[in-house]
Chain A
Amino acid sequence: MVHWLALALPFAYLGVLVGIMASFSRLYRQNKARKAASLAPWFGPHLQRDLYLSLLHIEPDEKTPRVPESILKAALLRRATEDIHRIISIRNTKSALAALLQRGSVGDDLWQRFQRAEKEIEEELRDVVNEANAFSPNWGATIFQSANEMASNQMIRKRMDELQAQKDSERQWWDHRKASIESDFMNELDRDAATANSAPPAKTAPATSTRVSDDDTVLVEAGGPADKGQSGKNKKKKGKN
């Protein structure tokens, strides 16, 4: 025979205990979720996604026609390309951030923001695949391959444009430089002629600028007028011996 009355107290005690723990855990989790939601997002606004969804929501009326599907497809491709950039950045960051977190170099907040970004990007990818499949069956399977190539192709083109843009300034620099070398050379020739004509005044001439006088002696040793490159080569050979 069980004494129900006697057992009531322990059961009530257990009930209260579980109740307190449950409400505490709920409050704690709510608090944590609110804090996480108030953290700044990892990435900035997703312009390509906004653009795509805005296009979807343009209502056709007499002034604006229906948005053609090809534009939507292009916008979706742009969105997928931006997603590729984000995935790459997430992947590159992850291991470094985990290591920093373990060492305690970064706070928990940062890690939470990161995890939220990771979850968001997963949803974003799924959404893009679904949209792509809605446009054309099986496009979802290849859209990210295309987007990946687009991302790296854009990088190549940007870098090449940057480098090719240097051509003009390099050309200008070289023209300038060539002109100054030529004028130097002409001056040297003139001075050479002067030294050949009248030997004694040459002794006073070097005093005006020592640098030029160095070049002069080399030219005389080399046995006559030669351009800068030529005299450089002569010097090189001497240096080797």
Chain B
Amino acid sequence: MDLETFNPVPITLDPTTKALSSTSPTPDTKLLTELTTLNALHKSLLASDAPNSVPPPPVPVNPRRSAQIQKLRESGNTAFRKNSHSEAIKMYSLGITMALGRPLWEPSGLVREELCQLYANRAQAYMALRSWPEGAVDARCSVELKKVQNAKAWWRRGKCLLEMGRVGEAREWVGEALEFEGVEQDLVALMEEIEGKEKGGRK
């Protein structure tokens, strides 16, 4: 492969929407997904107020969106404290959508941090409503984004699994959590509870 040669791709440009589409009668799925991604990226590039529609370097970040996400999280926390859990879930969900909607070229570390907190908080709100499966999934999301120093999220999924009666899974999960987090008081207590339940179940 040298710099000049390439395989021409059958594409055409819509003159009004400026969207690209494939002209081949039997387009392969790879090309189609690539075109969808490209069109979405093009739109977000145009929507951003970047000069010359060239994405700016990842840092510094536009502070407007960060402030909005922060605000949504705080109003979610306030709603949670007032025991209006479904309201809190709504706020957290809005925050999550907003964080996921960040332009792709913004720092991924920031997205990770924001999502990790939002998912962990939403898991807690779900747990308050005894929606164990949703809580378990959200807590897992939070853990996947940040494995260390995220004991709360580890604990929440463990608790949700236990409440759903999936004792074996819960035991495995909390065991892993203890490896990542070291000796964390809550996790150790949860482990004891699980072990107690296992013994009780076998009896």
A residues near B (Cβ < 8 Å) are 41, 45-51, 53-55, 57-58, 64-65, 67-71, 73-75, 77-78, 120, 123, 127, 135-136, 139, 142, 145-147, 149-150, 152-154, 156-157, 159-160, 163-164, 166-167, 170-171, 173-174, 177, 181, 228-229, 232, 235-240
Contacts and interface: CB of A to CB of B under 8 A. Distances in A.
24 contacts: A41-B1, A50-B9, A54-B8, A55-B11, A69-B53, A70-B46, A74-B42, A77-B105, A78-B34, A123-B3, A135-B54, A142-B58, A145-B57, A146-B57, A147-B105, A149-B105, A149-B107, A153-B108, A156-B108, A156-B145, A163-B137, A170-B137, A232-B200, A239-B200
- Determine the main DSSP class of B at the interface with A: helix
B166 to A, nearest CB: 9
Nearest to A218: B203
Nearest to B167: A232
- Chain B interface size band reads 35 or more
A64 B21 CA distance: 13
Nearest to B44: A74
B31 interface: yes
Contacts of B115: 156, 160
B73 interface: no
Given A54-B9, A70-B45, A139-B54, 4 more contacts: A47-B31, A67-B13, A146-B55, A239-B199
Nearest to B57: A142
A141 to B, nearest CB: 8
Interface string B55-70: 1111000000000000
Contact of B144 (A147, A159, A235, A237): A159
B140 interface: yes
Nearest to A231: B200
Interface of B: 1, 3, 6-9, 11-13, 15, 18, 20, 30-31, 34-35, 37-38, 41-42, 45-46, 52-58, 100, 102, 104-108, 111-112, 115, 132-134, 136-137, 140-141, 144-145, 163-165, 193, 196-197, 199-201, 203
